[in-house]
Amino acid sequence: MSDPTRPKGPKIIAIANQKGGVGKTTTTINLASALAEEGFKVLLVDLDPQGNASTGLGVDEREFTTYDLLLGEVDLNDIVKSTDVDGVSIVPATVDLSSADIELMSNEKRSFLLHDALRQTAIDQYSFDYVLIDCPPSLNLLTVNAMIAAHSVLIPLQSEFFALEGLSQLMLTVREVRQTANQSLRIEGVVLTMFDARNNLSQQVEQDARDNLGDLVFDTKIPRNVRVSEAPSFAQPVTEYDSASKGAEAYRQLAKELLIKHMKIAA
């Protein structure tokens, strides 16, 4: 039974696509930064064993990681790290997560570990408004944990041939999680990434996506932008690396579109 005296928890969004190279981590980092610019406190949970989100935000010290968050045996204050981006904290990841599927298999609550970790009373002290979960590029136990923990799933979709084909399995997984473990899970939306308006293929992918998914597709499109690609090597979101770039402006627009959607849902 929930405690009515507890503060309302953060909105939890899993950023997921089992296909690699679609801009998932880039979207997580820059959406977190753009939300922070709007005055929100954001926790980024790096659930990808590659740890690219951690690297992209310049987090070098990773003694305690998402793996420790899942196990719940380490104090939360030792796991949550501040970043150089005002308003953004992170639970970093290392390659230790790669064996989580096997090591957690004997745990009866293995699919609910992240759900419980993000709802422990100790997290209240941070007053996070949003939790963004950067999922691994596969539909494994970690991704299922993210979907059970989340209120919604945001799907980056690369503007390339066969882009929509990979969505079907992801949608099936969301449906299964909704039916078995998280009835309130919804699709936050699909955001087109690496979009080139001069490219007929990008335009065709957009048309196909809107024809098939309708209002689920965000109006905002993330352009193919060299500044977005360069920013991680400087351990910065593009919103700070080149604040005036088209990529930075696109992620700010995505954050605003997301916030407007949440205001309508709350109304």
Residue 35 pLDDT: 98
Residue 108 pLDDT: 87
Nearest by Cα to 257 from 25, 38, 15, 21: 38
Q: Are 15 and 131 in contact (CB under 8 A)?
A: no
Instruction: Give the rounded percent of residues in the chain with a pLDDT score beyond 70.
Output: 97
Q: Can you give the length of the chain in residues?
A: 267
Mean pLDDT of 68-73: 92
Residue 4 pLDDT: 63
Residue 267 pLDDT: 62
Mean pLDDT of 174-182: 96
The sign of the dihedral angle between the CA atoms of 255, 21, 56, 65 is positive
Locate the DSSP E strands across 124-195.
Answer: 130-134, 152-158, 186-195
On the question of pLDDT at 20 being above 60, the answer is yes
Q: How far apart are the first and last CA of the chain?
A: 25
Among 46-55, 75-84, 162-171, which stretch is predicted with the lowest mean pLDDT?
Answer: 162-171
> CATH 3.30.160.150: does it fit domain 11-266?
no
On the question of pLDDT at 29 being above 60, the answer is yes
pTM of the model: 0.95
Q: In angstroms, how far is CA 41 from the centroid of its own chain?
A: 15
Higher pLDDT, 122 or 263: 122
Q: Give the Cα separation of 166 and 151 in Å (integer).
A: 22
Q: Which residue carries 């941070």 as its tokens?
A: 126
Which region holds residue 61: left if phi is over 0, alpha if psi is between -120 and 50, else beta? beta
On the question of pLDDT at 2 being above 60, the answer is no
On the question of pLDDT at 218 being above 80, the answer is yes
Residue 161 pLDDT: 77
Residue 10 pLDDT: 96
On the question of pLDDT at 159 being above 90, the answer is no
